[in-house]
């Protein structure tokens, strides 16, 4: 049995119910939960005790990893197989691997919930999810680059390559900074109350990042002084570069899509694109200017991180809201970029809900990669389809110009071009499994506004030369 057919049957058994609306609602719930977590583990904006830690952990595992994963992976199945599309062997095998990994790690975290002495397993959960996400983004970066070199040398495809590659580098740098450079020291501390403290405080030996305080001992997580430059580079610059590339690729894609279809008002579109970076720069201004952060900049910075993810997602959803053939690709990308941006901001040095939230980078990277790749191929298909429309119209215009009536000529030309575009769409769909975003109404509009005026000009020029 071929891999795509096998995976399709497994998908049908595991995900009998798929819903775009339910997936979007659940992703909003996950984003809200992750937003609460990011404020709880960064700069001590919100505090939590052992009870809240357990509650956050249970909610993250149940909502994000349980119900959320089931609906979101089911929706990815729907998006990549609906409307006559098919998944290739690579995407099918990858989808199956993500499903198996996601639900296997869900079982591990459920075990940790009921046996808190097994928290030592959580860093392995983070290592597996981050490592797999790096492989996914690296593989899709390679596929997008291959597509760029072989089929479509367009800026948008190249931007997608750099975006996917930068996410892979960002995740790898985070793993190196947190698990290779940082080390832990355990000290006896009798009589203490159980709690966690995120300090990010410099001292003569380096930087004290975090303390896990238990009744009998304290574990301190330290970045040694000699490794501080490497830690700062790995912890800051890959993430910043990836964020800017995501913003660039998202902005360019949505601008291109909106220019062609006018789905969103120009002012609203500009706000959706500019506001995320404006919030980010404002929140980062103390670091950028080299001044001491004020208390109000801390929630603004983390709020900006959340706003960037949400607004990126809203921008994709705004493009998909009119029901175009690629609305599912755009929605998958929207959910992926929202969860990825916020989940990555949750520190994986918090051993329960922190790792559970951060480890959603696997699911979100997969969704963002699938959405980006299918959108990239669809956009390049649109370009190829427009060329085919123009070629068909101009190639047949000489014969049609001899028709007795101009209206009859245009009607016959339209029918011929629509037939050719349908054949070309079917060919592209068969070759890649990705449907172009141009609907029949878009083809007619392009024919009426661009191609037919060219045919009219050709006719006038031809008559002028004859005269």
What are the DSSP calls for 105-159, one per residue? HHHHHHHHHH-GGGGGGHHHHHHHHHHHHHHHHHHHHHHHHHHHHHT---HHHHH
- Least Cα distance to 173 among 373, 361, 30 occurs for 361
Which DSSP symbol is given to 181? I
How much is the pLDDT for 131? 94
The 3-state DSSP class for residue 188 equals strand
Answer whether 328's CB lies under 8 Å from 434's CB: no
Give the tens place of pLDDT for each residue, 221-249.
899 988 888 888 888 788 888 888 888 87
CA distance 142 to 369: 12
CA distance 347 to 44: 12
A 10 A CB-CB count for 220 gives 17
The 3-state DSSP class for residue 435 equals coil
User: N- to C-terminal Cα distance for the chain?
Assistant: 67
Instruction: Report phi then psi at 282, rounded to 5.
Output: -65, -45
Instruction: Report phi then psi at 218, rounded to 5.
Output: -130, 135
Answer whether 458's CB lies under 8 Å from 397's CB: yes
CB burial of residue 265 (10 Å; 0-12, 13-18, 19+): exposed
Beta bridge partners of 219: 186, 212
Cβ partners under 8 Å of residue 257, min gap 6? 263, 319, 379, 437
- How many CA atoms lie within 13 Å of 223's alpha carbon, on the beta-carbon side? 22
How much is the pLDDT for 307? 78
Give the tens place of pLDDT for each residue, 125-171.
999 999 999 999 998 888 888 877 776 667 777 888 888 899 999 99
Q: Which two tokens stand for residue 420?
A: 């050719």
Instruction: Report phi then psi at 177, rounded to 5.
Output: -65, -40
Cβ partners under 8 Å of residue 34, min gap 6? 64, 339, 342, 343, 346, 357, 360
How much is the pLDDT for 399? 46
How much is the pLDDT for 431? 61
- Least Cα distance to 333 among 319, 345, 343 occurs for 319
- What parts of the chain have a pLDDT lower than 70? 1, 42-45, 82-86, 151-153, 191, 253-254, 257-258, 260-265, 283-300, 321-325, 376, 379-421, 423-467
The 3-state DSSP class for residue 186 equals strand
CB burial readout 384-418, b (16+ within 10 A) else e: bbbebbbebbeebbeebeeeeeeeebbeebbeebb
How much is the pLDDT for 292? 59
How much is the pLDDT for 398? 45
**Can you give the pTM of this predicted structure?**
0.81
Cα 122 to the center of its chain, rounded Å: 24
With a pLDDT cut of 90, the percent of the chain lying above it is 23
- Least Cα distance to 249 among 317, 162, 165, 336 occurs for 162
The 3-state DSSP class for residue 299 equals helix
Structural domain spans, the chain: 3-235+326-376, 381-466
CA distance 357 to 360: 6
- Least Cα distance to 181 among 116, 145, 237, 228 occurs for 228
Answer whether 53's CB lies under 8 Å from 353's CB: yes
How much is the pLDDT for 62? 96
Answer whether 87's CB lies under 8 Å from 7's CB: yes
- Least Cα distance to 116 among 214, 221, 218, 222 occurs for 214
């Amino acid at each position: 049995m071929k891999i795509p057919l096998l995976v399709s049957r497994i998908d049908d058994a595991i995900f009998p119910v798929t819903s775009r609306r339910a997936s979007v609602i659940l992703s909003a719930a996950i984003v809200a939960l992750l937003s609460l977590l990011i404020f709880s583990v960064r700069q001590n904006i919100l505090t939590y005790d052992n009870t809240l830690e357990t509650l956050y952990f249970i909610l993250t595992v149940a909502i994000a990893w349980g119900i959320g994963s089931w609906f979101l992976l089911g929706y990815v199945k729907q998006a990549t197989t609906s409307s006559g599309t098919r998944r290739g062997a690579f995407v099918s095998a990858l989808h199956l691997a993500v499903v198996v990994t996601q639900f296997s790690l869900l079982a591990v975290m459920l075990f940790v919930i009921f046996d808190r002495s097994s928290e030592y397993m959580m860093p392995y959960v983070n290592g597996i999810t981050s490592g797999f996400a790096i492989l996914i983004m690296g593989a899709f970066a390679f596929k997008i680059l291959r597509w760029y070199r072989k089929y479509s040398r367009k800026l948008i495809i190249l931007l997608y390559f750099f975006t996917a590659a930068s996410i892979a580098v960002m995740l790898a740098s985070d793993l190196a900074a947190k698990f290779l450079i940082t080390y832990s020291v355990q000290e006896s501390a009798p009589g203490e109350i159980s709690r966690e403290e995120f300090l990010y405080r410099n001292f003569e030996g380096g930087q004290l990042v975090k303390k896990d305080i238990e009744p009998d001992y304290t574990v301190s997580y330290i970045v040694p002084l000699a490794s501080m430059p490497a830690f700062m580079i790995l912890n800051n610059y890959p993430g910043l570069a990836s964020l800017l590339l995501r913003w660039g690729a998202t902005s360019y894609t949505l601008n291109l899509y909106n220019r062609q279809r006018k789905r969103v008002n120009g002012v609203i579109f500009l706000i959706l694109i500019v506001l995320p970076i404006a919030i980010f720069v404002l929140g980062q201004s103390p670091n950028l200017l080299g001044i001491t952060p004020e208390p109000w900049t801390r929630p603004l910075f983390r709020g900006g991180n959340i706003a960037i993810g949400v607004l990126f997602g809203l921008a994709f959803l705004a493009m998909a809201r009119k029901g175009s053939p690629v609305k599912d690709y755009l929605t998958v990308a929207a959910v992926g970029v929202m969860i990825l941006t916020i989940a990555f901001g949750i520190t994986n040095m918090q051993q329960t809900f922190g790792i559970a939230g951060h480890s959603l980078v696997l699911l979100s990277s997969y969704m963002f990669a699938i959405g980006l790749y299918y959108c990239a191929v669809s956009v390049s298909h649109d370009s190829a389809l427009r060329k085919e429309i123009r070629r068909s119209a101009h190639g047949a215009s000489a014969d049609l110009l001899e028709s007795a009536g101009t209206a009859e000529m245009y009607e016959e030309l339209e029918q011929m071009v629509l037939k050719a575009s349908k054949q070309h769409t079917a060919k592209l769909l068969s070759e890649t499994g990705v449907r172009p975003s141009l609907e029949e109404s878009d083809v007619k509009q392009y024919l009426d506004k661009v191609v037919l005026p060219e045919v009219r000009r050709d006719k006038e020029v031809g008559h002028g030369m004859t005269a």
